Amino acid sequence: MVAPPTTAEATVDQRDLVEQARKGDHDAFAALAGAAIVRLDAAARLILRDRELARDAVQDAMMRAWRDLPGLRDPEKFDAWLHRLTVHACIDAARHRRRRPIEVELTVLDAPSVADASSQIIDRELLDRGLRALEPEWRAVVVLHYYLGMPLPEVAGTLGIPLGTAKSRLHRSIGVLRSTVGIGPATDSALVTEGRLA
């Protein structure tokens, strides 16, 4: 298992690569993309819960990153910018997906009613169910904060939502996830309408 990634300050090496890539050095971009691809692919799959959509979203984000990199003002913000492009591509993909019926089943979850206090790792299958029970925009808040390690103000900025909205979404999402894995009550209002025709 790898440690959760963080949004640490860009290193000097990364800054140099960004500067080179901004000038059209595709090898430098490949190095930057290679360092980010696993993280972005994982984040996209967590948000979208769909491997194919996640691939499309990451491809979109990478294409935009390469094309628009010369316009990035601050090389230090490359990681945050790439995260933003990816999350927005994910949300766009999710919005398109809503136009067709989807296959996620939202039956009453048969999760245990009481958490196993000795458990160190949250049950993977139950966590997956919990994530699927959230709107993609809500999943994005969870993924940005808990997977990519962004502080909430940065999450709000990335998603273009007020900080209060980010806090509220995170709070309610955690409530749903807790409920799904058997810790604490559910927050029904956060459940999505997936499974129906939008």
Under the rule (CB under 8 A), what is the footprint of another protein? 1-4, 22, 24, 26, 29-30, 33-34, 37-38, 41-43, 45-46, 55, 58-59, 62-63, 66-74, 77, 81, 84, 115, 117, 120-122, 124, 127-128, 131, 142-143, 146-147, 149, 157, 174, 177-178, 181, 183-184
CB nearer another protein, residue 67 or residue 105 = 67
Contacts of 95 (CB under 8 A, 6+ apart): none
CB of 164 to another protein, least distance (A): 14
CB of 109 to another protein, least distance (A): 16
Asked whether 192 and 133 are in contact (CB, 8 A), the reply is yes
**Which has the closest alpha carbon to 152: 169, 135, 136?**
169
CB nearer another protein, residue 109 or residue 122 = 122
Contacts of 166 (CB under 8 A, 6+ apart): 141, 152, 153, 155, 156, 159
CB nearer another protein, residue 144 or residue 192 = 144
CB nearer another protein, residue 143 or residue 192 = 143
Q: How far apart are the first and last CA of the chain?
A: 38
Contacts of 5 (CB under 8 A, 6+ apart): 39, 147, 148, 149
CB of 10 to another protein, least distance (A): 14
Q: How far apart (Å, rounded) are the C-alpha atoms in residues 79 and 140?
A: 16
CB of 110 to another protein, least distance (A): 19
Apex 102 CA angle, 198 and 193, nearest 5: 45
CB nearer another protein, residue 131 or residue 166 = 131
CB nearer another protein, residue 177 or residue 192 = 177
CB of 101 to another protein, least distance (A): 19
CB of 158 to another protein, least distance (A): 9
Six token digits for residue 75:
């090389």
